[in-house]
A and B are shown apart, each in its own frame.
Chain A
Amino acid sequence: AAGVIQSPRHLIKEKRETATLKCYPIPRHDTVYWYQQGPGQDPQFLISFYEKMQSDKGSIPDRFSAQQFSDYHSELNMSSLELGDSALYFCASSLAVGFDTEAFFGQGTRLTVV
């Protein structure tokens, strides 16, 4: 069965550079979530999209932006990267979350800022 695809799997960037992370949800899923997991930390919600509109916003820095495109894939754009942005970034997709639904997570993109 198709799963959530994230690319790239690994990314190394220098401070002050920009990075773009991509997420391809499971077909027919209409909701995408982005999470950031720092070393030894639990995943922190960044932002979510439902039907290509931002549905919720968490602790996403102003340097980051995201969008969901007409084909439902999503991109997380990160500018002016800082060392503290080094983390595992997860994307998840679901049908509008509620009872009897579940969020499927991708394998994550490991971003290292040097």
Chain B
Amino acid sequence: DQQVKQNSPSLSVQEGRISILNCDYTNSMFDYFLWYKKYPAEGPTFLISISSIKDKNEDGRFTVFLNKSAKHLSLHIVPSQPGDSAVYFCAARSDMRFGAGTRLTVKP
């Protein structure tokens, strides 16, 4: 049973706008989460992480929010750039099973 889920297979946004990618989990014992970005024909690359002792972690244009009561994570990209177009995956570190991914397309 998949314990980390990304229910939106794709997202399209305009350059300069905010991109919000969502991830839900079922196991309340998960305490550290990772986001990865994947371009075609390349391996996934680590983007940002968050510990359950925080509800927000920011790194430049990327911010991850964690809502423990809702068992929900979201990745915000502001402002979105065409180079951000990729597939984004979330995972819980203790499980390392990824969600199905969300394909983000940022239009110029």
Chains A and B form a bound pair = no
